[in-house]
Structure 1
Amino acid sequence: MKCPFCGKNLIEGYLVCQSCRSLVIDFDYMKNLEKMEKKYSKSSLADLSKEKLTFEEIITIYTFIERANHHYGDDELSRKCEKDGTFSNLSRQLKEMKNKK
């Protein structure tokens, strides 16, 4: 996956581009989230986060959460994701990706 801002290759497991320091985001997150829901036959973020996700899929979920919080003006979705284990599942997978390098 390439950074959408500087075009350099991203290092899997990191949420910030190692080159330009921009936050890694998915500009097509709604379309990609819909594809994930079909691929895994799951619709909740908590259930999706338990799957063996690709780096791009993890970025899609993080982007969705961030954008939902922004649009609704609070951190309700983030709080829900902390409680239901979504964040810990995603974090664990990112750490595994980092450790593979």
Structure 2
Amino acid sequence: MSEITLVNAKDLQEVINEAVRQAVGEALRERHLPILLSLQDAADLLSVSYTTIYRASKIQGFPVTHDFGHAKIVTDQLLEWIKSRSNYDLVYNFGS
């Protein structure tokens, strides 16, 4: 680790921001998700039971497809579906 000399608070903020950007980038690279998930993969990803995902897959609007022989969940649409049904905006965009 190299030594850094900071002159003011703005420099410190820039160092922190860069460190956070690098950490987030590394975390995202480590978490590669496939385009489609099996029901079991989705259950594992969300830390819920297979039965819970199976029941959710029957809800109108749930991002499930049967085009590949078995039920598959479209990953990015699943994340958006969860976000749209949660209080995400209220929690993360409070005061915006």
- Specify the TM-score bucket, using the shorter chain as the normaliser: under 0.3
Structure label with greater radius of gyration: 2
- TM-score if structure 1 supplies the norm length? 0.24
Bigger fraction of residues in strand: 2
